[in-house]
Structure 1
Amino acid sequence: MNNFTINEIVEKFNLKVQYESAKEPINKRVISSIGTNRGGLELTGFKTKQVSRSRRIILLSSKESEYIASLKKTDYNNHFKNILEDHIPGIFVTPNFKYIKELCAFAKEIKSTVPIIEVSFFTSEFAATVSIYIVECLAEIKRVHGTLVNIFGYGVLIMGESGIGKSETTLELIRNGHLFIGDDSIDILKINNKLVGKVNPPVKNLIEIRGIGILDVTKMYGYHVIMHESQINLIISLNRIESEDWSKIDRLGDQNDFETYFEIKIPKTIIPVSPGRNLADLIESAVISLKLKNEGQDATSQFQARIISDLTKK
């Protein structure tokens, strides 16, 4: 997300802005670094040389309140000044910080551009929640054409040329009890060294079926079949194939194939499409096969080992 601002967090978590500069309102205060900083060191006057930390938000709570309480009242403003410098995107204050009025008054006095936002819930809860949100908003994104479903707990990205049957197969998977994330336009994000898939918001809950049109999955099957996002564990590539090409298909499944996004490899299974094949059943089988392999149960390897063992005995 470009130009991710303090305003995004305020609206997302329904927070109350206690101080905002008319010169630079919260929708202009850009966040460019992942994570949050507790304000203790900044209050003491310590200044980090790590540029990557300079655009993190500041969180003030009980420990910072205790530190301020240990000072003389005449010294408050000297320490407040350290956290009201322009490079800090914003200051978030929990109920445990008892000096929000004094902080806002001084910010107004010096005409600081750093907004001060009151948080209604407590430190650990807010820090964890807002950190995840910032990570998602600043994550690298690649948009792909495909359909994303969650099958037996595995996120499966179904890809293939237009009209090959991705959406129709997805409807059958939903009827089989699996969860729908999105169709047609999927955003792939790199979060905590994992690939997470989400639907592009304009097509949320929608699926397009050729000859019928655009359908709302929630209206057809209910909200219980919808999943907001999912880690991507497997890519299924549906490939149209002619009869003479069947000899080229990997029959044993021992040819490992991968798709790479943001330097992360995701297992890829190519499923040939031809009349009479039940694609939903095949995709379910591919997921079960991957789950078994991840648990150390590889039928192909066991079969090959058995053959080698029999040949060695002879």
Structure 2
Amino acid sequence: MTKFIVKDIVDKFGYDVLAGKDGINRAVKIYGINRPGLELAGFDFEKNNINRRVILLSNKEQLFVNTLSEKVKKERYEYILNENIPMIILTEKFTDKILLEIAEKHSCPVVRASNITTSRLYQLVLEFFDEHFAPATEEHASLINVFGKGILLRGKSGIGKSEMTLELIKKNHLFVGDDRIIIKQRNNRLYGQSHEMLKNLIEVRGLGILDLSKIYGLQVLLDETKIDLVIELIHLDDEQYKSIDRLGIEYKYIKILDTKVPIITVPVTYGRNVSELVETAVSKLKLDEAGISCLKILQERFEEYSK
């Protein structure tokens, strides 16, 4: 994971830096935002913790410090402004200039967020934190978005994942990545994207490395997709083939980063149009999510026919 610094947050949201510009490259090591009510009251049980959260000061903190004398304010600000705090974010409702003076002395960046409510600011910053602190893993697979569903194509090397991905792209589905897929877990959901080094690239045996942005244009590309289904491609002579549930009564699940995701196994052989099978698998997934079971329809017909 690349180093996450205060400047990343400032650049992302366009915050105005009011003090402590010398500390703009401080590392942000801990997920979360702290509203320092206890610290401003003089109690800080994490005083010696070297990894601290970003601090957010807004209306309720301003109302509290207004009750303090200037001497006490300085003491409290000195108490919380140490080298371990990455930065302080102020809303428009926090306007104490004494904080800025002390922050400048400690080279602690203080930034101003304008034209935004505290709750919305909190939400947006944490969503940005998710991108850097979310658990991640890497899969050797292809990732494509089919009918709005993220499909992770897995299988042994040479089984044809990249060729099937190309077929799906020709059918107007969206390409996310090939070969090295970075998977992150956010809010107990899985999201996949291409490894930065291989972005927009796909390797096809016999053709080599292809840049899909140059061949098909940017309209076929998607930076990231939620992973809704894993499709495991196997050869007909693979031992797994014997254990495939032909009726597909219920999905099997695998766990990736502690999140369960449905998986189906699709046999691959010459002359079999696997790209259409992938589209059909996604359509079936959508029907199942809507509570429509094709097997149940068959059972109902069988019962009606048996009467």
Aligned mates of 1:262, 1:228 — CA distance in 2: 20
| Structure 1 residue 255, shift from structure 2 partner | 5.5
Describe the superposition over 1:88-142 as per-residue Cα deviations: whole angstroms up to 9, x where unpaired. 332122333212x422311344xx3643234355334432221011122111111
Matched ranges for 1:23-38 at <5 A? 25-32=23-30, 34-38=31-35
Deviation at 1:293, TM superposition (A): 1.1
Alpha-carbon distance between aligned partners in 2 of 1:55 and 1:309, rounded to the nearest angstrom: 67
Deviations 1:237-279 (A, max 9, x none): 1112249997654322226322211222211111111111111
Contact 1:209-1:215 at 8 Å conserved across structures: yes
Letter in 1 for 2:103: A
- Do residues 258 (structure 1) and 256 (structure 2) align? no
Query: What's the CA shift string for 1:177-200, capped at 9, x where partnerless?
Result: 222221111111111111111211
Q: Which residue in the other structure is 1:161 paired with?
A: 156
Identity of aligned residues (%): 40
Q: Distance in 1 between matches of 2:63 and 2:243?
A: 71
Task: Decide whether aligned partners of structure 1 residues 219 and 14 sit closer, same or farther in structure 2, where only a CA change above 3 A counts.
Answer: farther
Q: Quick check: 1:4–1:138 contact (8 Å CA) kept in 2?
A: no
After superposition, the Cα gap between the structure-2 partners of 1:219 and 1:41, relative to the gap in structure 1 and judged at 3 Å, is farther
For structure 2, the residue ranges without an aligned partner over 5 or more in a row are: none
Tell me the secondary structure at the aligned position of residue 172 of structure 2.
coil
> Structure 1 residue aligned with 2:69, among 72, 87, 90?
72
How do residues 267-278 of structure 1 correspond to structure 2 at under 5 angstroms? 267-278=262-273
1:84 pairs with 2:78? no
What SS does structure 2 have at the residue aligned with 1:27? coil
Of 86, 89, 100, the match for 1:104: 100
1:302 is aligned to 2:297: yes
Compared CA separation, residues 256 and 244, structure 1 to 2 (3 A): closer
By how many angstroms is 1:301 displaced? 3.6
CA distance in 1 between counterparts of 2:75 and 2:259 reads: 47
In structure 1, stretches of 5+ residues that fail to align are none
1:7 Cα deviation after fit: 3.7
Counterparts of residues 114-263 of structure 1 (less than 5 Å): 114-120=108-114, 122=116, 123-242=118-237, 249-254=244-249, 256-263=251-258
TM-score by length of 1: 0.84
2:249 and 2:146 mapped to 1: Cα distance? 22
| CA contact 2:234–2:241 (8 Å) conserved in 1 | no
Structure 1 residue matching 2:111: 3-state secondary structure:
strand
In structure 2, what is the Cα distance between the partners aligned to 1:65 and 1:244?
67
Cα distance in 2 for residues equivalent to 1:218 and 1:124? 39
Q: Is the 8 A contact 1:158 1:238 kept in 2?
A: yes
Cα separation, 2, equivalents of 1:51 and 1:228: 41
Letter in 1 for 2:27: R
Contact 1:35 1:135 in 2 (8 A): no
* Alpha-carbon separation, structure 2, partners of 1:95 and 1:244: 64
Structure-2 separation of matches of 1:31 and 1:135:
12
Mapped to 2, the partners of 1:107 and 1:242 lie a distance apart of 68
The aligned length equals 306
TM-score under structure 2 length normalisation: 0.85
Q: Which range moved further: 75-84 or 119-128?
A: 119-128
